[in-house]
Structure 1
């Protein structure tokens, strides 16, 4: 098969070389003929100019120069045309040669495929014969064949076995590589899943830690507020107990009921600036602000009138109450 391809390629190359040489030779002859024609025309023109007189020689010289230019231009165009034609023919020849080579390669491939098909068919038909028949045929053939034929068949059988062994090893190697790739992909997937799980555990751990910290901060704030409330209640109780233990001091002048602690502190500051003893008490409606206590109601009423009449305090209303401490109510 290879020798046939080489033979066909050599024939194509030889034919192409001959065609190309013929084209080049033809172009060279055309250029030479053009040069000879131009030389003849120049000699004829020179002979014609020699027959004329000297005074009239200027005009023919001008004409010769113009003619020479025209001839040269025509020759240049002819050469360019010839070269272009030669290039076109050469390109056509190369295309024909490539097509012939492709056709030869296609035919060779078809022949090779047919040979392989026949070989496989022969192998399959031999595989379907019972072993005992094959052995009998082999023995008979071996007895009838010459030693050289037996050696050839033996070499072919060894070659076939070697080829089958190589194919089997290649298949085994391919399967091994496939298994290794599958194992590698599985290991990578497991590793990625483990990493994702670890990251999720870390994220859950951080979220639980943040939640625990937030709950601890909330609990600490609640405990702090509770302690402040307890301290405040304890202070009010101590103050009420002190008033109770110091004698008959149950009469108080209530001057205001503040909505919040800031308003209460403002009123208390103004009263204390005037020298009044001020007491506050937390109620469900607000913070009660009282002046006193006084020993009797008359003293408390006198203090009330004084507070209401003081324009700087701006206390428009005040009243006397019989106040009882919280721990004794």
Structure 2
């Protein structure tokens, strides 16, 4: 009976070890597959960054934006951690089941030993009634105990080695996860640096363009001011020339009046327009007077004459003002210089 229990316990241990090894191998395979997918995703992200001529990295629109990449990587990390945790939980569960089976086998063996000792201690029982398989000499007992101790030590060593391998795998997985997180941080920092550099470049170009436009506008303004100044100078020069000419003509007319061949005219009216001037001139001509019209800035001047003597001109003025049919009461004598002598 004792050999049968030991055989069953060995079978349970062997089956539990095989199942535990299969679960650990499956967990490693899942972790390896997740790492491969993560590596492929990182490679795709790297391939999406084109390099322009000259070795300068330029920003290009990515198929998946940075936030989506981060979210996918975070989900994969969580999936890996969950898979590892599930594998560890299953390993712990099977380890507990194995320990329970071992404890159960040990309990049953202890019960059998107790029964065997009870049978041996009973003086009323004959040794002929004890089954041969329960008879165990001291040498066989020591050998069995040594074998069980060796088996327990071997099992402990296997469990320790398995735990060490599990810890090593967890450490490797954690290091890979940390490396991937660091790579993600570096990628995000690089993209942020590139984005900032592009923004600075765009800002610098905009500032240069604004300065060029301002300089262009300033040059145009200066050119317009220079043109206006030149135009004003030309107008001022023309005005000065016109005033000088007008002054010269006035001086010439005054000199002719004062020193030239003077004549006398009788100014009888200042018509507002040419039609009124013609009407007044017709009345005077009808009376036999010689009429001269002279346009001025204030109207058309109507004059009778000329006469070479002032007294003759004054006599003509009196005659015109005395003629009530003409109605010209405000005539007066003026010096006159013909246009061809001015």
Q: Quickly name the TM-score band, shorter chain normalised.
A: 0.3 to 0.5
- Return the TM-score normalized by structure 2: 0.38
| TM-score normalised according to structure 1 size | 0.40
